[in-house]
Each structure stands twice: as structure tokens, then as C-alpha cells.
């Protein structure tokens, strides 16, 4: 007789949970202090040097007759972003600032302090990431849980996962014990590519570090390109987090949050004798 | 109806005050000097890590003529109004003397002509402002290391201080005078020069005439302009507000390698 039962499986090791939440803290503060730092020179360029008259991204404010208008310029496109980008603040107290005060740490424009926040949490982020990598490699977490296996990368399986994800129907029962191929590739991409890219492009803005590894700056096409890629990658992480949060909610908010706190994830199984 | 409106009003007020509470709490934390002091503990780690991975003689990247910025941005003071400086400028810096003193065996006083006779170096390097932009320029100047050797550093000398001719901020106690300091590793770095020429011309006033520091591998605010006096010291705590430089006194890192 088959009976479906809800069982709790141990899904996330303590080190995964710990490094996950430290990452949440570090990335949040890195983003918010980074947006404040950006405000000191709210323009982006490509190459080694700034071309002040021709930034490819510019967030600023300008006078339109009696009014000040905040604008965001990307390439040849220009948008009015008053209230959010370029010109924002409390009602009646708008000021020229790239990102609004609610998005930055500290809330007021302060390059010196935002750099202190940024570099402190950069260290926390790097140390946390190294711990995750070392433990993940030693314990087999990265190899066993994140590296797609032969079954995962079969085109039929990939197509199947895309199809059920698109309908927001997620793997159930035994299949939910492990990450599916979309989760694996996304997490692996974030852990091995996107987050390290953030650190490397950040280091490439350091004139001290540049002297040690000038070739690395060339890999990114120059210091200003590295700054640009740092900025783009930051928003790629924001995009990932938004998608991640959406998926958490869509596939069971409390079950997911519990699993990242206690490690236990509930699955519904109809396999007789499935152990708890 | 009014109950509903009221409830909505309460809800809105509640959310607004909760938001204000969170933001207020954040501001309290972020503006507390103790939290900043705690965060600044990472600066020592950064400096030591960089000193560890960057060889003390490793050169900053040098570029070609084609890379020179046509729009190198002058920053900070761009035309000092200090009386002594204006007097020197009016006479084309013919009366200028660079003083090198402090913890040295033989204090020096050098004219611009004397400086041009010193072992020199020309380099096309990238200037990285703490704000985030970069410009590339060509600098020619006297190497600082040989000059310090001529003056003969005493054993107790640990830092080299640059006293500048510009007041960047008007203050009552004179702490708005620009100054900077570097350690002996950077002072003796082969690319550390006292530049009197920029892009094959006499150094312009906006970029620090008659003499500015180039200490490549650090950010723009370390590149002191309008240098009047170089002092070898054991410690810089008695200068300015005690943090080793104008911008350091205003919260920026003394080690500006990142």
C-alpha cells in the first residue's frame, strides 16, 4: 500500500547555512555602500582611463528651466529618473545624488565612510567565500551537490526542468531531495563565476594590487572597464537574488527558509519505507 | 467607512514610523564613530595584505604617449590663494626653495634648477582618484630616494611628510593646510618622484606647480601638490589632526592602495 507522507530530510549542512547568511549580510552592505561610493563619481567608462565628456553611463541632475531633473543616461539613451536616480530625497528636500538615501550605507553621501563599510564587508565576504569553497571542496558538497551529473545534463532532462519551472511546478518527492540541473548550474555559476568576478574586478580598481598583477587589469580591459564590470556584476547579483527570492516563495517560503536555518527540508514522498 | 479610513491611516502611519525607525536605527549605527572605528580595523588588514602580495619594488604599470589623457582632471586645490604661494607664483617660482629637513643629518634647500639637476625619472602612469575616475599623464621629476640619501635620514625617521602651499579648507586652527605622509617603502620606490613637469611641459598650477609628489600605486589624494617642505619624522600624530594627511584627517585611509 502506498501512502504519501511528509518527511523532513537533512538538506543543508551547517557550514552551508552559516556561509549563506553571512553572505546575505555582507552582500547587502557591500551593495548599499557600493552605491554610495558610486555617488562620488556617478559615471562609468570603458578602458584604462576616464573619458569625462563621454561616459557610457551617467546618473546626474540638470536644470530644466525652474526644475531640477534627475536623469540616467546609458549610451545614447537618456531617461528621466527624478525621485529615484540622480535627484531624490524627502518631499521638498530633494538633492543631487546618484542613488537614493534609502538604498545606500550610510544614508547620506559620504565617500570616506562608505569605503570603510565596503572594505570591511569585502573582507568578511572574501573570508566567508574561501571557507565555503574550502569546506565545499573537501566535503564534496561542490562535487556532489552542485556539479551537474550525467543525468542532469541530458538534453531531455534540461528541457523537462525548464518546462516545469516555467509553469512553477517544482520537483516533488524523491526528486526534491537534490538540486535539479537549473539550480545546480545557477548556484555553481554564482559561486564559481559571478562572486569571484566581483572580487577580482574590485581588486583591479586598487592601484596597489594593480602593481602586483598588471595582467589581471588587462584581462578586464583596463581599470575603468573593471569598474564598469564591477557595477554590472553587482546588478547581476541583484538580479540573481530577486529570482532566488521569487523561487523561494514560489516553491514554498517556509519550507525553504527553515531548510536554510535548521537544515531540514520537507518533502512529500510516497515511497514505502522512506526513511525520515 | 471612517473606521476603515482610520484603519488605513493607522496602517500607513504604522508602516511609515516602522520605516523611519529602521532608517533611524541604521543612521544611528552608521554615524556612530565607534562603528566607523570598528570598520576601520579592516584598513590594517588591507595594508598588510597588500604589502604581502605586492613586492616593495613592483612597478605601477607604465603607458605609452598614445594613452595620455587629453582631459586629465585637476582635483582638490587648483589655484591656491595662500599669500605665500601667490607671491611665489607671481615671480614664476624663481624664489622657490624646497626644504628637506626633520630627522636628517644634512637639511637641504633646493631651487627648481637644483631639482632639475637631480637624478630624474620620467613615467607615463595612471592616476586613480578615490572618487573612481582615472587619468593618464606623463610625469618627469627628481627621484625622492636619492634626495633623501643626500640629506641623510636619521635612524629614527619612519615617515616622510609633505607640507604643501595650499589651504584646501578654511579652518580656524590651520588644519585645512594640505599635507601628506608616506612610509619609507614608498619613499624609496623607484617611481616615487617630485614632479616638475607634466606631459613634457612645465607642471601647471592646477596640477601642483612648482612641485608635486607622484607616489604611484596609491590613490590620487596621496599625490601631494604644491610641495614646499619635506620633513622626515618618526611619527605623524603631532601634525594636522594626527592621521597623516589632509584627507586622512577627514576619514580617508592613510594607506591608499585600494
Q: Does B86 reside within a domain? A: yes
Name the pLDDT band for A175 (thresholds 50, 70, 90). confident
Q: Read off the C-alpha cell for B235.
A: 611619527
Give me the residues paired with residue A74 across strands: A57, A77
Q: Does B220 reside within a domain? A: yes
Q: Is B15 on the interface with A (CB under 8 A)?
A: no
Which pLDDT value is given to residue B52?
Answer: 94
Q: Does B28 reside within a domain? A: no
Mean pLDDT of the residues in chain B: 93
Please say if the pLDDT value at position A273 is more than 60: no
Q: Is B128 on the interface with A (CB under 8 A)?
A: yes
Q: Does B38 reside within a domain? A: no
Q: Is A48 on the interface with B (CB under 8 A)?
A: yes
pLDDT, average across residues A169-175: 85
Residues of chain B found within 8 Å of residue A45, distances taken between Cβ atoms: 133
In the DSSP assignment, the letter for residue B210 is T
Please give the sequence-ordered ranges of beta strands (E in DSSP) within chain A, or none if there are none.
5-10, 43-44, 57-64, 67-74, 77-80, 86-90, 93-97, 264-269
Distance CA A36, CA A27 (A): 14
Which pLDDT value is given to residue B176?
Answer: 94
Q: Check B216 against A208: CB less than 8 A apart.
A: no
Q: Read off the C-alpha cell for A41.
A: 563619481
pLDDT, average across residues A132-156: 95
Q: Check A110 against B36: CB less than 8 A apart.
A: no
ipTM of the assembly?
0.92
Name the pLDDT band for A171 (thresholds 50, 70, 90). confident
Number of structural domains in chain B: 1
> Quick one: which of B74, B68, B62 has its CA closest to B121?
B62
pLDDT, average across residues A53-65: 96
Please say if the pLDDT value at position A274 is more than 50: no
Phi, psi of B135 (to 5 degrees): -135, 150
Q: Check A120 against B39: CB less than 8 A apart.
A: yes
Name the pLDDT band for A172 (thresholds 50, 70, 90). confident
- Tell me which chain A residue has its CA closest to the CA of residue B59: A211
Name which of B18, B19, B32, B39 to mutate to probe chain A: the one with the most chain A Cβ atoms within 10 A of its Cβ: B39
What confidence tens digit (pLDDT) does each residue in A1-22 have? Answer: 556 788 999 999 999 999 999 9
Distance CA B258, CA A206 (A): 4
Which pLDDT value is given to residue B15?
Answer: 67
CATH architecture of the region A5-39+103-269: Up-down Bundle (1.20)
What is the domain extent for residue B180? 60-250
Residue pair B140/B195 in contact by the 8 Å Cβ criterion: yes
Measure in Å the smallest separation between the Cα of A232 and chain B Cα atoms.
15
Q: Does B167 reside within a domain? A: yes
Q: Is B36 on the interface with A (CB under 8 A)?
A: yes
Name which of A116, A126, A224 to mutate to probe chain B: the one with the most chain B Cβ atoms within 10 A of its Cβ: A116
Assign residue B146 the CATH number of its domain: 3.90.420.10
Distance CA A29, CA A25 (A): 6
Q: Where are the domains of chain A?
A: 5-39+103-269, 46-98
What confidence tens digit (pLDDT) does each residue in A116-131 have? Answer: 999 999 999 999 999 9
Which pLDDT value is given to residue B175?
Answer: 86
Q: Does B89 reside within a domain? A: yes
Work out the burial of residue A10: count CB atoms within 10 Å of its CB; fewer than 13 is exposed, 13-18 middle, 19 or more buried. Answer: exposed
Nearest by CB: B27 against A50, A106, A120: A106
Name which of A49, A108, A114, A213 to mutate to probe chain B: the one with the most chain B Cβ atoms within 10 A of its Cβ: A49
Which pLDDT value is given to residue B1?
Answer: 43
Instruction: pLDDT tens for chain B, 258 residues: list them.
Output: 455 556 666 666 666 666 666 767 777 887 788 888 899 989 999 999 999 999 999 999 999 999 999 999 999 999 999 999 999 999 999 999 999 999 999 999 999 999 999 999 999 999 999 999 999 999 999 999 999 999 999 999 999 999 999 999 998 888 899 999 999 999 999 999 999 999 999 999 999 999 999 999 999 999 999 999 999 999 999 999 999 999 999 999 999 999
Residue B98 CB partners (closer than 8 Å, separation 6+): B108, B109, B110, B111, B115, B194, B211, B227, B228, B229, B230
> Going by DSSP bridges, is the β-strand pair B227-233/B98-102 parallel, antiparallel, or unpaired?
parallel
Measure in Å the smallest separation between the Cα of A32 and chain B Cα atoms.
12
Low-confidence winner among A51-55, A221-225, B174-178 (lowest mean pLDDT): B174-178
Q: Is B241 on the interface with A (CB under 8 A)?
A: no
> Quick one: which of A99, A51, A56 has its CA closest to A74?
A56
Amino acid at each position: 500500500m502506498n501512502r504519501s507522507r511528509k518527511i523532513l530530510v537533512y538538506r543543508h549542512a551547517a557550514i552551508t547555512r552559516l556561509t549563506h547568511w553571512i553572505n546575505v549580510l555582507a552582500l547587502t552592505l557591500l551593495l548599499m555602500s557600493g552605491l554610495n561610493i558610486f555617488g562620488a563619481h556617478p559615471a562609468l567608462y570603458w578602458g584604462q582611463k576616464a573619458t569625462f565628456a563621454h561616459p557610457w553611463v551617467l546618473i546626474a541632475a540638470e536644470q530644466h528651466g525652474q526644475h531640477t531633473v534627475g536623469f540616467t543616461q546609458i549610451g545614447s539613451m537618456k531617461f528621466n529618473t527624478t525621485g529615484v536616480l540622480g535627484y531624490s530625497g524627502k518631499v521638498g528636500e530633494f538633492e543631487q545624488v546618484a542613488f537614493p538615501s534609502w538604498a545606500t550605507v550610510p544614508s547620506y553621501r559620504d565617500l570616506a565612510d562608505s569605503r570603510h563599510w565596503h572594505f570591511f564587508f569585502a573582507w568578511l565576504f572574501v573570508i566567508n567565500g574561501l571557507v565555503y569553497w574550502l569546506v565545499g571542496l573537501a566535503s564534496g558538497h561542490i562535487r556532489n551537490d552542485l556539479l551537474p551529473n550525467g543525468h542532469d545534463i541530458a538534453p531531455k532532462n534540461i528541457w523537462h526542468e525548464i518546462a516545469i519551472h516555467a509553469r512553477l511546478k517544482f520537483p516533488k518527492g524523491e526528486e526534491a531531495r537534490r538540486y535539479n540541473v537549473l539550480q545546480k548550474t545557477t548556484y555553481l555559476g554564482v559561486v564559481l563565476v559571478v562572486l569571484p568576478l566581483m572580487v577580482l574586478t574590485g581588486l583591479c580598481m586598487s592601484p596597489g594590487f594593480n602593481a602586483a598583477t598588471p595582467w589581471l587589469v588587462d584581462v578586464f580591459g583596463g581599470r575603468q572597464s573593471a569598474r564598469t564590470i564591477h557595477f554590472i556584476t553587482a546588478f547581476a547579483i541583484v538580479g540573481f537574488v530577486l529570482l532566488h527570492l521569487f523561487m523561494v516563495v514560489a516553491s514554498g517560503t517556509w519550507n525553504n527558509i527553515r531548510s536554510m536555518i535548521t537544515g531540514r527540508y520537507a518533502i512529500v514522498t510516497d515511497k514505502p519505507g522512506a526513511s525520515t | 467607512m471612517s473606521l476603515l479610513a482610520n484603519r488605513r491611516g493607522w496602517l500607513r502611519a504604522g508602516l511609515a514610523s516602522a520605516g523611519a525607525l529602521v532608517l533611524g536605527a541604521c543612521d544611528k549605527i552608521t554615524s556612530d564613530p565607534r562603528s566607523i572605528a570598528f570598520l576601520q580595523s579592516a584598513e590594517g588588514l588591507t595594508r598588510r595584505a597588500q604589502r604581502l602580495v605586492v613586492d616593495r619594488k613592483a612597478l605601477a604599470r607604465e603607458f605609452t604617449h598614445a594613452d595620455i589623457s587629453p582631459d586629465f582632471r585637476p582635483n582638490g586645490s587648483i589655484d591656491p590663494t595662500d599669500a605665500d604661494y601667490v607671491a611665489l607664483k607671481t615671480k614664476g617660482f624663481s624664489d622657490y626653495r624646497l626644504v628637506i629637513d626633520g630627522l636628517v643629518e644634512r637639511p637641504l634647500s633646493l631651487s627648481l634648477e637644483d631639482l632639475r639637476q637631480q637624478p630624474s625619472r620620467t613615467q607615463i602612469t595612471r592616476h586613480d582618484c578615490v572618487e573612481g575616475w582615472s587619468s593618464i599623464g606623463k610625469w618627469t621629476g627628481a627621484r625622492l630616494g636619492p634626495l633623501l640619501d643626500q640629506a641623510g635620514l636619521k635612524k629614527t625617521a619612519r615617515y616622510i611628510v609633505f607640507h604643501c602651499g595650499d589651504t584646501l579648507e578654511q579652518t580656524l586652527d590651520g588644519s585645512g593646510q594640505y599635507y601628506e605622509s608616506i612610509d619609507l617603502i614608498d619613499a624609496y620606490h623607484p617611481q616615487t618622484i617630485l614632479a616638475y613637469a607634466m606631459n613634457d611641459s612645465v607642471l601647471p598650477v592646477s596640477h601642483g606647480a612648482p612641485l608635486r609628489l607622484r607616489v604611484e600605486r596609491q590613490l590620487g589624494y596621496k599625490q601631494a601638490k604644491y610641495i614646499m617642505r619635506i620633513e622626515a619624522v618618526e611619527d605623524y600624530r603631532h601634525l594636522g589632526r594626527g592621521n597623516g594627511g589632509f584627507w586622512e584627517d577627514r576619514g580617508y585611509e592613510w594607506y591608499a592602495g585600494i
